Amino acid sequence: MEKNRKKQIVVLSIALVCIFILVFSLFHKSATKDS
């Protein structure tokens, strides 16, 4: 039970980081396009 919960938290953290990088790259692209 404890191990499974820890694994879930790790997977969630990785997913959050991936989404953050994707959003940041998209925002950076649109920002450079505008100026």
Instruction: Note the pLDDT tens digit of each residue in 1-35.
Output: 688 999 999 999 999 999 999 999 999 888 887 65
H-helix or E-strand spanning residue 28: helix 2-34
Is the torsion defined by CA of 12, 14, 15, 19 positive or negative?
positive
Angle at 21 between CA 8 and CA 25, to 5 degrees: 160
For residue 10, the model assigns a pLDDT of: 97
The whole-number pLDDT of residue 5 equals 93
**Residue 35: its pLDDT value, please?**
58
Phi/psi for 34 (5° steps) reads: -65, -50
Annotated domain spans of the chain: 1-27
Residue 12 is predicted with a pLDDT of: 98
